[in-house]
Chains A and B, each alone.
Chain A
């Protein structure tokens, strides 16, 4: 009963095409955003910010980027960690070499660098697809790993190879402390989600989905596979690059190339699969799931009174991830986002049975 759309008639195309045409959706999203921006900073503990909220938001952004590439455009990528690294190191180099630049500008530039690299490594997608492309993106991942580990210029010749971000400041306003960092990340990620939604609803999003579903037919109606695929790589890597810069600057503070290795790529792919391919909400749900699961697994044995070593917990984590991937692929390939949509469908009738 809650989710009835009866009575909501649209009289113009503009109103039908707005971001959240159904009233209940609008209310929910505005409510959630208000809660996130206004209420959470006062309620949540430092631990929640540091361990849960901030990493969740940043990884959601990365998952969003990856979802654009894999979910909307159908191009499998196992090199996402590498593109995050490009964003992180680009931001670092801009910050260190041109200190006058404002932080937001640095993030955008980092995103653009990652987008450029993404386009270059996306060129093989014009000739190869599916898991062949996945292997090609692995080449990108390992090459980028190596480049940042070995080429001294990228790390400003610091001997230890571990670099640190300068203190964060936007327009003269310092960003210290978990609350402010959270708000900064929340603002950036919300904006990114809006942009992503606009793109996927528009002509370019349709060209991505057409290329994913049937690229020969897409070409026949005039969609250039080159433009569609490379734009997907570019936009995806832009978001992923910014998330890398955020991860390095806001979450980690100081980092090594290992933070962005192939395991990160797999982690992001899992987020996208579990959360739901081709869904913006899914990227958030998947990221939330993967951030929260280890924490739950850590607490659960203690709560149930079963003592488990940390190694065992980590092993169980692997097992649960693996099993869930298979489970979702079999049962609901469209992931948590689809389960959410089904839930909303049920809300149309509830509390009535039919």
Chain B
């Protein structure tokens, strides 16, 4: 049963037009083909899941969307503009933020600083003003601190805000990763296995956060996830990859019933 159907007044989910589309993306590392001609689109305010067996190319797909990898072929469209490839900074400027499978947090910095770092693009004051910490620089620090504290409250981690992230338990680190991505106030949020390594309770918390982000801020979410229960409950539509190819694309129910998908997961050669 999809959680989205349970929420009152969500018959019309209010999904917008296509905000992100990838077309014919092919990516290879030397001789290894990670992605072959993958195309799908994501609608505004949608929660789109990408699933598939290990090595299917899911993380690579996210990396292409946000510019960490450059595809050999294909296009990426974001809010109407088409690009042959993205760069990390450009995708950040356009409003795409992400979390990482292996966290990639700034271990030497506190939770507060990590999330504040996520607001880098929104901070404008120059070197000299920062050096003297007066005027606009000081006001900016305080303004952004307010927003970051809101995110910290939202993620229920105020008690560890000054702790260096390296010392936090894994579940809390995952939340900081999410917080850092949220800090940029993105239009599209790419989540790479946000529930990996979590127990039941932590997964429920994380699911709640993801739903809240989508509801309250209208953020479009593209997530990679292995836990089928989570995927079926949270997402509006699902893309299934296998060996770098798209083998299914539709609502969770449609995908669950697809023979190709069943074969892929059972390891049947096709």
Could you list which residues of chain A lie within 8 angstroms of chain B, going by C-beta atoms? 13-14, 17, 195, 198-199, 201-204, 206-207, 209-210, 212-214, 216-224, 231, 235, 278
In chain B, positions 169-206 with a C-beta closer than 8 Å to chain A are: 180-181, 184
Q: Which secondary structure dominates chain B's binding surface?
A: helix
Inter-chain contacts of A221 with B (CB < 8 A): 92, 97, 117-118, 120-121, 180-181, 184
Q: Which chain B residue has the least Cβ–Cβ distance from A223?
A: B120
Tell me if B121 and A206 are in contact (CB < 8 A).
no
Tell me if B180 and A17 are in contact (CB < 8 A).
no
Number of A-B contacts (CB under 8 A): 97
**B2-26 contact mask (Cβ, 8 Å, vs A): 1 or 0:** 0000000000000000000000000
Inter-chain contacts of A199 with B (CB < 8 A): 127, 130-131
Asked if B133 is at the interface of the complex by the 8 Å CB criterion, the answer is yes
**B94-114 contact mask (Cβ, 8 Å, vs A): 1 or 0:** 000110100011111100010
**A275 CB, min distance to chain B CBs, angstroms:** 16
Q: Which chain A residue has the least Cβ–Cβ distance from B181?
A: A221
Tell me if B88 and A13 are in contact (CB < 8 A).
no
Asked if B235 is at the interface of the complex by the 8 Å CB criterion, the answer is no
Q: Which chain A residue has the least Cβ–Cβ distance from B183?
A: A221
Given A13-B145, A201-B133, A214-B106, 13 more pairs with CB closer than 8 A: A13-B142, A13-B146, A17-B141, A195-B132, A199-B130, A204-B127, A209-B113, A214-B107, A216-B68, A217-B106, A218-B106, A223-B120, A231-B127
In chain B, positions 134-171 with a C-beta closer than 8 Å to chain A are: 137-138, 140-142, 145-146, 149
Inter-chain contacts of A214 with B (CB < 8 A): 104-107
Tell me if B88 and A198 are in contact (CB < 8 A).
no
28 A-B Cβ contacts within 8 A?
Answer: A17-B142, A195-B132, A198-B130, A202-B141, A203-B120, A203-B125, A203-B140, A206-B116, A206-B117, A206-B120, A207-B117, A209-B106, A209-B113, A210-B117, A213-B106, A213-B107, A213-B108, A213-B109, A214-B105, A216-B104, A217-B106, A218-B117, A220-B88, A220-B97, A221-B92, A221-B120, A222-B89, A235-B127
Q: Which chain A residue has the least Cβ–Cβ distance from B166?
A: A213
Tell me if A219 and B89 are in contact (CB < 8 A).
yes
How many interface residues does B have (CB within 8 Å)?
Answer: 40
Asked if B219 is at the interface of the complex by the 8 Å CB criterion, the answer is no
> In the complex, A210 Cα to B141 Cα: how many Å?
17
Inter-chain contacts of B60 with A (CB < 8 A): none
**A203 CB, min distance to chain B CBs, angstroms:** 4
Asked if B93 is at the interface of the complex by the 8 Å CB criterion, the answer is yes
Inter-chain contacts of B59 with A (CB < 8 A): none
Inter-chain contacts of A209 with B (CB < 8 A): 106, 108-109, 113, 117
Interface-central residue, B117, B142, B149, by most chain A CB under 10 Å: B117
Take A206-B109, A210-B109, A213-B106 as given contacts and tell me if A222 and B133 are in contact as well, using a CB distance cutoff of 8 Å.
no
Inter-chain contacts of A219 with B (CB < 8 A): 88-89
Asked if B66 is at the interface of the complex by the 8 Å CB criterion, the answer is yes
Take A203-B125, A214-B105, A217-B106 as given contacts and tell me if A222 and B132 are in contact as well, using a CB distance cutoff of 8 Å.
no
